[in-house]
Amino acid sequence: MVSKALVVGAYQRKAEEIARLGIDLTVLTPPAWRDRRGSQKMRPAHTEGYTLRAIPIRWNGNFHFHYYPTLGKELRSVAPDLLHFDEEPYNLATWLALRLTARAGIPATFFTWQNLYRRYPLPFSAFERANYRAACVAIAGNQDAAIVLRRKGFSGEVAVIPQFGVDPAVFTPAAAASRPSDEGRPLHIGYAGGLLPEKGIADLLHACATLRGEWRLALAGEGSELSALQQLAAVLGIRDRVTFVGRVESTDMPAFHRGLDVLVLPSHTTPTWKEQFGRVLIEAMACATPVVGSDSGEIPHVIGAAGWIYPERDRAALAAHLQLLLDDPHRRAELGAAGRRRVLAHFTMAQVAAQTVAVYRQVAGGA
């Protein structure tokens, strides 16, 4: 498996679970990955039962044009039965990788989050068509991405599997004895992810500014909107109630979620993006932290009936949900328990790994 996502330590649990199912697995990642949220170094955290190794990357941070110059050498060394290339089919890295596997007679699969139907210019459209021909099975991270694959002409099998689940033994509710009393305590609201325009964090600040009663807001993450959001909090008169936490290591996220009374994902759909999954939602839900999300992209399908959805950009509706949770600790407990049950039923790392291994067997069998 080649995956820049697995630089994140918590995500490596998926690899452990795949290996536990009898797969002789080698995972290759870049030493770090850069994007608009900053730079994330590869940090080994879950490495039992498989091989995890960093390999060189060229044009790091360029989503469409990055690639791995030593991948051919790695494939010759590992001699895999198949390659799971954890990348979009319209990117250079995927095209180069699947060319290598085709020449070596190694079957391959790719992963896509792309849930908007978009036509790409050359050379990306050519990469995409070639990769569609090279893979007999594709993995789509959500239902809309599967629909996009079909509309764009992919004729192989499509498996709809989230890229990652959560480990419910790590993302656990706070022990009852450690929970502070709700009486006289502010409502602790949180967000985690990129501080980016499409994440809708300004809506969250505006909604919080209208709440009646005591509350605090923690914003975890980095990104281009940091300064603008700090200024907005000051303009709204709530700067002393908002904490900009910065990047939180993946292994520290369970503690972050357990410190919240509600997690909000206020994403906005744009012409080029809509929420593709929202992993932070299932992390919070596994910790029995209630979740509120906009109706952008996959968010309603992830939350289901285990949290609250509001129309994206509707600050009044978001504020109304938060006010209800501020006023009713019992409702918070009910939603938290429902979220935990939903994760156990649908979104554990073991379930995602088992579905992924089923794809591997399908790809190998088809080859």
Q: Render pLDDT for 183-216 as a digit per residue (tens, 0 to 9).
A: 679 999 999 999 999 999 999 999 999 999 999 9
**Is beta strand 38-41 parallel, antiparallel or unpaired with respect to 32-35?**
antiparallel
User: Based on the domain organization, do 144 and 258 belong to the same domain?
Assistant: no
pLDDT recorded at residue 177: 47
Q: What is the CATH number of the domain that holds 47?
A: 3.40.50.2000
* Both tokens assigned to 9: 């330590």
For 37, the domain range is 5-165+348-366
User: Based on the domain organization, do 126 and 228 belong to the same domain?
Assistant: no
List Cα–Cα distances, 359 to 83, 100, 152, 335, 363, in angstroms: 11, 20, 21, 33, 6
Which among 299, 331, 37 has a CA at the least distance from the CA of 193? 37
One-letter identity of residue 256: F
Q: Give pLDDT < 70 ranges for the chain.
A: 176-183, 367
Question: By the 8 A CB rule, do 71 and 96 touch?
Answer: yes
Q: Please tell me the distance from the alpha carbon of residue 132 to that of residue 110, in angstroms, as a whole number.
A: 9
Sign of CA dihedral 205, 207, 213, 215: negative
The label of the residue with tokens 């070596």 reads 104
* Both tokens assigned to 173: 């509710």
One-letter identity of residue 246: G
- CA 283, 220, 65 angle in degrees (round to 5)? 85
Q: Is residue 79 part of a domain?
A: yes
User: Based on the domain organization, do 66 and 155 belong to the same domain?
Assistant: yes
Q: Is residue 171 part of a domain?
A: no
User: Based on the domain organization, do 338 and 354 belong to the same domain?
Assistant: no
Q: Please tell me the distance from the alpha carbon of residue 325 to that of residue 215, in angstroms, as a whole number.
A: 11
User: Based on the domain organization, do 237 and 269 belong to the same domain?
Assistant: yes
User: Based on the domain organization, do 132 and 215 belong to the same domain?
Assistant: no
Q: Is residue 187 part of a domain?
A: yes
Residues near 135 by beta carbon (within 8 Å), at least 6 away in sequence: 89, 98, 108, 109, 110, 156
Which among 191, 190, 192, 203 has a CA at the least distance from the CA of 268? 203
User: Based on the domain organization, do 88 and 138 belong to the same domain?
Assistant: yes
Q: Is residue 120 part of a domain?
A: yes
User: Based on the domain organization, do 130 and 201 belong to the same domain?
Assistant: no
Q: Is residue 131 part of a domain?
A: yes
Phi, psi of 146 (to 5 degrees): -65, -40
User: Based on the domain organization, do 111 and 45 belong to the same domain?
Assistant: yes
- Convert the pLDDT of each residue in 271-327 to its tens digit: 999 999 999 999 999 999 999 999 999 999 999 999 999 999 999 999 999 999 999
128 Cα distance to chain centroid = 23
Return the number of other C-beta atoms located less than 10 Å from residue 94's C-beta. 26
Q: Please tell me the distance from the alpha carbon of residue 94 to that of residue 85, in angstroms, as a whole number.
A: 7
Q: Please tell me the distance from the alpha carbon of residue 28 to that of residue 6, in angstroms, as a whole number.
A: 8
Quote the number of domains for the chain. Answer: 2
